[in-house]
Chain A
């Protein structure tokens, strides 16, 4: 348990956290703004990776690959949205159905279960090899730019008439409809936006780790939720602005990966990692419930 090993691992944790932070911002849109738990993400993050991998191997400009991955991710959200609104399937189940079918889709895109991306031969935006580089090659530069761009665009979007109507849809369906808002269209739109971001994150992740695996999204929703909740628990008191709330999600993802690293460094067998992830999220989800049930009798409901 040398501390130096942990310190050495930290830059990688931060980069990974920022990548997953983009995914978690997507989860925030569905889970917090639209108030639906969307499980499409376990599939769409790999879809983003698969699309980007194939494009990068064909020599496509990596920024274009990111945009295409985003658009394809939106289509996966569209599928879930249609299952949910048009076919009346509960949101969770709709997400599971899409996630399952995406496994086949991802295999079809990749051609096999796993494809490597060679950072020396291909033009990639980021690579794990440069996590400790003190130059523009450091993945954090690109990641910071992408994250800032995503947050800025979302901040602008949710300030528009359409964005406000999306927030109203999540906040109060009945009210939204009474104000003439097509709540079904908005749910589909929110799911598309969310999964677009998740796929974008997958497109960055495959470059960073140097490969895409059809199973790379397993349990992604849990990491996304963990980031959202950690961000809220730590920053909800100080961050009121919407852009800062999204930033909190990103920081939440970084903290999550640092904590996991510390736990591994303390000697946890990696086989138990997924279980640990699930338990951490379970406990964080339980905190507001416990608070309301046992400590909050007098103050009543919060906003």
Chain B
């Protein structure tokens, strides 16, 4: 049996408890990922997908339950300490990079994820060659623009760079929250292809939130669906490979006990 890479042990999260804006975002989420699992996460708006990923990343503390990454209990670790284990790419291309710093500086920051930062040079000459090689694999010509400010790059370029940065130092877990949603279809396809390639090459464990049913079915070895703060569908292996759109819809309706509202689910 494979090693457990992530264990979300019955976590719950309520935002603004006790106020009129109180929102039970996660009710009781239980999930175990094995090493090498590539899970796609689907579900309607407000289902709790981002909240689950952010809870793992430590953006906010959870109300109850436990989170373990690679056997380490991180439940009470602040976000910056959990970063050691995690690679993250966000929906907004602006979020993952520092716009006012140049490409190589951004990569050097990512290269030191999880390490203490002292008074050594922020970027060493030999690193540059490595970054250049890595950038070349993106096929976007960024290897010739290493001194350019990241703010000058397009959204797709920034997402590709963020993905590269997230995996520069191999993470225990890669968290992708609709990381292609802000891109045009062609660029989105390219970044997605890149994602699959990197995950396969480094044999990463990954969770990818998407609103695209086709991608959710085609990519990865496991698919989970969330609804109202719970995981309601979890399909893997052969069954996942042979899933169809209609089947997923059917599973959702059965699990959620309600008619599927196409608009709310926003699946294409």
Residues of A within 8 A of B88 (CB): 178
Main secondary structure of the interface of B (DSSP, over half): loop
One digit per residue, 1 when the CB lies within 8 angstroms of any chain A CB and 0 when it does not, for chain B 109-125 equals 11011110111111100
One digit per residue, 1 when the CB lies within 8 angstroms of any chain A CB and 0 when it does not, for chain B 68-98 equals 0000000000111101101010100011111
A160-B119, A160-B121, A180-B114 as given contacts; A175 in contact with B84, CB under 8 Å: no
Residues of B within 8 A of A51 (CB): none
Query: How many inter-chain contacts with C-beta < 8 Å in the A-B complex?
Result: 92
Q: How far is the CA of A210 from the CA of B165 in the complex (A)?
A: 54
Main secondary structure of the interface of A (DSSP, over half): helix
**B111 — nearest CB in chain A belongs to which residue?**
A179
Question: Is there contact, CB below 8 Å, between A177 and B80?
Answer: yes
Q: How far is the CA of A168 from the CA of B98 in the complex (A)?
A: 6
**A183 — nearest CB in chain B belongs to which residue?**
B80
Residues of B within 8 A of A269 (CB): none
Residues of B within 8 A of A179 (CB): 83, 109-110, 112-113, 165
**A302 — nearest CB in chain B belongs to which residue?**
B151
Shortest distance from the beta carbon of B159 to any chain A beta carbon, whole Å = 13
Question: Is there contact, CB below 8 Å, between A177 and B79?
Answer: yes
Residues of A within 8 A of B113 (CB): 179-180
Shortest distance from the beta carbon of A240 to any chain B beta carbon, whole Å = 10
Residues of B within 8 A of A180 (CB): 80-81, 83-84, 112-115
Residues of B within 8 A of A302 (CB): 151
Query: Is B137 interfacial (CB-CB < 8 Å)?
Result: no
Query: Is B100 interfacial (CB-CB < 8 Å)?
Result: yes
Query: Is B152 interfacial (CB-CB < 8 Å)?
Result: yes
Residues of B within 8 A of A160 (CB): 117-122
One digit per residue, 1 when the CB lies within 8 angstroms of any chain B CB and 0 when it does not, for chain A 4-40 equals 0000000000000000000000000000000000000
User: Which positions 43-57 of chain A face chain B at CB distance < 8 Å?
Assistant: none
Query: Is B183 interfacial (CB-CB < 8 Å)?
Result: no
Partner of A168, one of B78, B83, B101, B114: B101
Question: Is there contact, CB below 8 Å, between A175 and B83?
Answer: no
Query: Is B188 interfacial (CB-CB < 8 Å)?
Result: no
User: Which positions 20-75 of chain B face chain A at CB distance < 8 Å?
Assistant: 57
Q: How far is the CA of A174 from the CA of B99 in the complex (A)?
A: 12
Query: Is B178 interfacial (CB-CB < 8 Å)?
Result: no
Query: Is A207 interfacial (CB-CB < 8 Å)?
Result: no
Q: How far is the CA of A35 from the CA of B78 in the complex (A)?
A: 22
Query: Is A187 interfacial (CB-CB < 8 Å)?
Result: no
Most buried by B among A160, A161, A163, A302: A161
A161-B120, A179-B83 as given contacts; A303 in contact with B149, CB under 8 Å: yes
Shortest distance from the beta carbon of B102 to any chain A beta carbon, whole Å = 10
Q: How far is the CA of A221 from the CA of B107 in the complex (A)?
A: 35
Query: Is B108 interfacial (CB-CB < 8 Å)?
Result: yes
Query: Is A296 interfacial (CB-CB < 8 Å)?
Result: no
Question: Is there contact, CB below 8 Å, between A161 and B121?
Answer: yes
| B contacts, CB < 8 Å to A | 57, 78-81, 83-84, 86, 88, 90, 94-101, 105, 108-110, 112-115, 117-123, 149, 151-152, 165
Can you offer 12 A-B residue contacts whose CB atoms are under 8 A?
A159-B121, A160-B119, A161-B121, A164-B101, A165-B117, A172-B99, A174-B95, A176-B98, A177-B80, A178-B83, A180-B84, A303-B151
| A contacts, CB < 8 Å to B | 157, 159-165, 167-168, 171-172, 174-183, 301-303
